[in-house]
Chain A
Amino acid sequence: MFPLNLQTAFIVEEVSKIIKESVEAAIGGNAYQHSRVNQWSTSVVEQCLSQLSKLGKPFKYIVTCIIMQKNGAGLQTASTCFWDNSTDGSCAVRWENKSMYCIVSVFGLAI
């Protein structure tokens, strides 16, 4: 089944833009603070999800966010999916500032 309609396809650039805006808005100029990380990651994820649902596409979304303090340690993320390649898609964005990294992944599963 191919989505012939752009209105119902998972468009990576569009989602990537939404993620970048949400991350900027939630943690933009801040330095890593342990006491605020909970609130930041919640707000990044909730912002992303509400912008995605405003797109009005027939998708179920899964948004994950990892915020890590910079101290020289390494981090690797991998994901694998069992889905329909023609209709579903994912997008991951890596953002950083001087004191922390933020990796957001969005998976869109067509209904």
Chain B
Amino acid sequence: MEASDTYLIRPNHQHKFKPAVVKECIREVVRERLSGLRYDPEEVPELSRSLADCIKDKVKNSGFDRYKLVVQVVIGEQRGQGVKMSSRCLWDADTDSYAEDVFMNDSLFCAVAVFGSYYY
């Protein structure tokens, strides 16, 4: 991302990070790739990486130009254990936001969080 010369310190409404749109992106990608899949410890590292890249590309193409993105994907095996995932951010609440989604089937669960931070 290079420094560009627009002096926009706030995104206008069309370009604001829209959590609902991003959540839909996440949902589509995850459901398409993980439905019916079983947890396989050999494949999971590659799968989680490629899911993260896929989601990042999809969100980028949704038109959030001035946003830096962080996509985190967590895939775990379902064995009845307890899991808790939480996050906190120190950012500009007017311009930055996040979207998350959780997918579960019988053998695995997948939690995805996408954070968007405006680049002034």
A interface residue numbers (CB < 8 A to B): 1, 32, 34, 37-38, 40-42, 45-46, 48-49, 52-53, 59-84, 88, 90, 105, 107, 109, 111
Contact = CB atoms under 8 A, between A and B. Distances in A.
B52 A72 contact: no
Contacts of B73: 77-79
Given A75-B74, A75-B75, A76-B45, A65 B81 contact: no
Interface of B: 1, 3, 39, 41, 44-45, 47-49, 51-53, 56, 60, 67-92, 96, 98, 113, 115, 117, 119-120
A66 B70 contact: no
Contact of B81 (A46, A73, A82, A88): A73
A49 B88 contact: yes
B77 A81 contact: no
Contact of A68 (B75, B76, B88, B89): B76
Given A60-B96, A80-B52, A74 B86 contact: no
Contacts of B52: 78-80
A67 B87 contact: no
B86 A64 contact: yes
Residue from B39, B78, B87, B119 whose CB has the most chain A CB atoms within 10 Å: B87
B24 to A, nearest CB: 19
A55 to B, nearest CB: 11
Contacts of A45: 86-88
Contact of B72 (A38, A64, A69): A64
Given A60-B92, A62-B91, A63-B89, A78 B49 contact: yes
